[in-house]
Amino acid sequence: MTATKLPFAASSDVGDLIACPTCDALLHERPVAVGETARCPRCHTVIEAPRALAMTRIIMLALSALILMVAAIFFPFLELEAAGMIRRSSLLDTVMAYSGGLTEPLTIVMAALIVVLPTTRFLGLLYVLAPMAFGWHPARHAAPVFRFVELLRPWAMAEVFVVGVAVALVKVGGLAHISLGPAFWAFVALVIVTVLKDNFMSRVTVWKTLDARRRS
């Protein structure tokens, strides 16, 4: 991307221009090669970063994330053993921890942040990117779905939850013996997969691909 020089005639054709989504710098658009990273010359935000087979990789990762999420919900998450008593806790128990009393609304928030929103993101990404990976036309309403997926990005907090688990383990460590269940490892894998997936994804590239493949 090269900056637009100041004597700029506001001509009628704006097709070969791109504005940095973060700082609004007006740039001349040029094709970005696969593997290359195009940054804004002013604020250095990554504008485009096309990667080989990125679409396919993202949908594979989103699919694995979905499967891992199912495992994380239904298998025991943590197991606590103290004074001869064993207490198993699943992800659903954790979500339900705030139910009852004044903290009741937090139940919904917990469910949303660690299960519903991440799952919605994976499903939305699959819906938008699967047709792209196969070289088809975009699915119906792909644009609003992808906008929604990007809107949810800061609110899907699976990775924050994993760090929370680690802190909780140390807190109870002295009190009782704790072992990690299979669901915990599923959830850790889910976080790794999510981070990989988000690294592969370049928002502007997805929008351009959707636009180029649009049915006309």
156-185 positions binding another protein, by CB under 8 A: 157, 160-161, 163-165, 167-168, 170-172, 174-176, 178
Nearer to another protein among residue 63 and residue 131 (C-beta): 131
Burial class (CB in 10 A: 0-12, 13-18, 19+), 75: middle
Alpha helices in 97-181 (DSSP H): 105-111, 117-133, 142-152, 158-173
DSSP one-letter code for 174: T
* Residue 213 engages another protein in binding (rule: CB under 8 A): no
Stretch that binds another protein, among 56-64, 95-103, 116-124, 131-139 (CB under 8 A): 95-103
Cα 123 to chain centroid distance, Å, stands at 11
Burial class (CB in 10 A: 0-12, 13-18, 19+), 36: exposed
The values of phi and psi at residue 7, to 5°, are -65, 90
Note the maximum CA span of the chain.
80
Nearest to 153 by CA among 201, 188, 187: 201
* Residue 116 engages another protein in binding (rule: CB under 8 A): no
Nearer to another protein among residue 190 and residue 210 (C-beta): 210
Nearer to another protein among residue 44 and residue 140 (C-beta): 44
Nearer to another protein among residue 6 and residue 52 (C-beta): 6
- Residue numbers 180-209 binding another protein by CB under 8 A: 203-204, 207-208
- Residue numbers 31-90 binding another protein by CB under 8 A: 39, 41-44, 47, 78, 80, 82-83, 85, 87, 89
Tally of CA atoms within 13 A in the half-sphere of 111 that contains its CB: 11
Q: Taking the complex as a whole, how short is the minimal distance between the CB of residue 200 and another protein, in angstroms?
A: 18
**For another protein, which residue of 96, 139, 180, 189 counts as binding (CB under 8 A)?**
96
Nearer to another protein among residue 116 and residue 204 (C-beta): 204
